[in-house]
Amino acid sequence: MGVELITNVSEYEKLAKEKLPKMVYDYYASGAEDQWTLKENRDAFSRILFRPRVLIDVSHINMATNVLGFNISMPIMIAPTAMQRMAHPEGELATARAAASAGTIMTLSSWATSSVEEVNSVGPGIRFFQLYVYKDRTIVRQLVRRAEMAGFKAIALTVDTPRLGRREADIKNRFTLPPHLVLKNFEGLDIGTMDKTNDSGLASYVASQVDRSLCWEDVKWLQTITSLPILVKGVMTAEDTRLAVENGAAGIIVSNHGARQLDYVPATISCLEEVVREAKGRLPVFLDGGVRRGTDVFKALALGAAGVFIGRPVLYSLAVDGEAGVRKVLQMLRDELEIAMALSGCTSLREITRAHVLVAADADTTVPRRARL
């Protein structure tokens, strides 16, 4: 299938698998252990159905929204994904240009193969910086300061990775960063490298560098070293939502790390309502994980998300067609969301409500008992 014949986001994955080295594709595509959650992140969306409204004037549809004070063209943003130059020589720079051209937000991974300064150099755009907290807090201070200086607008603090999940494909492949690439934000720092080991080189690197003692007090500490808003990425429960609010988070990203950490956690879309209910509008709640269609975006918005972040679709499209691929993915999702809104009778994001969807659990309460038998 040629690039010009691609009609949906998922078709990029098959082409990327054909194009990428096995070690790289497996790293991007795999989940933890049995990969049950990896599949469930997608399957859970299919259990949410629409309740469309009709005879509404949908000749003008507005998908614009505001995230942490920044106006963007649509509620679809780019999640942090590591080592994008493994997918394409321009890596994160191509992704940054595509996001800017689409009028949306890109989140740069700490483990990017392009530095915050390089990404800033491609031109204007609204960018967030994803942060892993290292044992050496001096490194954290330096990273945050550099992100601020490079014009990044928020910190997405990843909180679900005190250890790396057991990703068996990486163990089999003895995954490590290809020798011509480096984690650019750490270039020149004496913090060890991602070397080949008997299992996953990344897992060994994380074990040696990332701070396992990270706790809620550190969210407050982070606020003492930066004025940037802090999104807490990796929250899945009401209890942690309450703590995020209490500890001054500017927002929450409901995330299971692309199903790469703890297997057999629910899909993020299944956790979303619990988090939104507890947040009580005190801070915005976003979602990542499993989004492959504009209809998925609509469903997340209907369940209370302020927007979604996409990860793997960016990597696959980047591998297949560079910046043009990422642009196309963003455009396809935008077009699909627009159609879903029109066919549901919604002309703006605020008109998308819980009443527009039927979740599987709802069916048990709405279908008369006799009909259920």
Residue 17 has pLDDT above 90, yes or no: yes
Residue span of the structural domain in which 104 resides: 9-360
Tokens of 42: 């997608």
52 burial level (CB within 10 Å; 0-12, 13-18, 19+): middle
Under a CB-based contact definition with an 8 Å cutoff, are residues 44 and 270 in contact? yes
User: Per-residue pLDDT averaged across 297-302, rounded?
Assistant: 98
- Residues forming the active site: 257
Q: Which residues participate in the annotated binding site?
A: 27, 80-82, 109, 130, 132, 158, 167, 233, 255, 257, 260, 288-292, 311-312
Report how far residue 125's alpha carbon sits from residue 77's, in angstroms, rounded to the nearest whole number.
Answer: 12
Q: Kindly report, residue by residue over 221-279, the tens digit of the pLDDT.
A: 999 999 999 999 999 999 999 999 999 999 999 999 999 999 999 999 999 999 999 99
Counted residue by residue, the chain has a size of: 373
Q: Is residue 275 part of a domain?
A: yes
Annotated binding site for glyoxylate, which residues?
27, 132, 167, 257, 260
Task: Return d(Cα 216, Cα 157) in angstroms, integer.
Answer: 11
pLDDT at 310 over 50: yes
4 found inside a domain? no
CB-based contacts of 149: which residues, under 8 Å, 6+ apart?
116
C-beta atoms surrounding 271 within 10 Å: 23
* Residue 179 placed within a domain: yes
SS3 for 251? strand
CB contact at 8 A, 329 and 297: no
The count of other CB atoms within 10 Å of the CB of residue 121 is: 12
Q: Is residue 161 part of a domain?
A: yes
Binding residues for FMN, as ranges, are 80-82, 109, 130, 158, 233, 255, 288-292, 311-312
Nearest-10 Cα torsion for 164, 170, 171, 174: -120
DSSP state of 227: -
* Angle at CA of residue 20, ends 293 and 324, nearest 5°: 50
Tell me which DSSP letter residue 85 carries: G
pTM of the model: 0.93
The CATH number that applies at residue 281 is 3.20.20.70
Q: What is the pLDDT of residues 50-97, one digit of tens each?
A: 999 999 999 999 999 999 999 999 999 999 999 999 999 999 999 999
Looking at the domain assignment, is residue 213 inside a domain?
yes
Domain tally, the chain: 1
Range with the lowest mean pLDDT among 126-135, 163-172, 204-213, 219-228?
204-213
pLDDT over threshold 80, residue 195: no
Number of Cβ within 10 Å of residue 287's Cβ equals 30
Q: Is the pLDDT of residue 191 over 80?
A: no
Beta bridge partners of 17: none
Would you say 253 and 287 are in contact if contact means Cβ atoms under 8 Å apart?
Answer: yes
Q: Is residue 15 part of a domain?
A: yes
Task: Answer yes or no: is 354 within a domain.
Answer: yes
Distance CA 132, CA 98 (A): 25
Identify whether 166 is part of a domain: yes
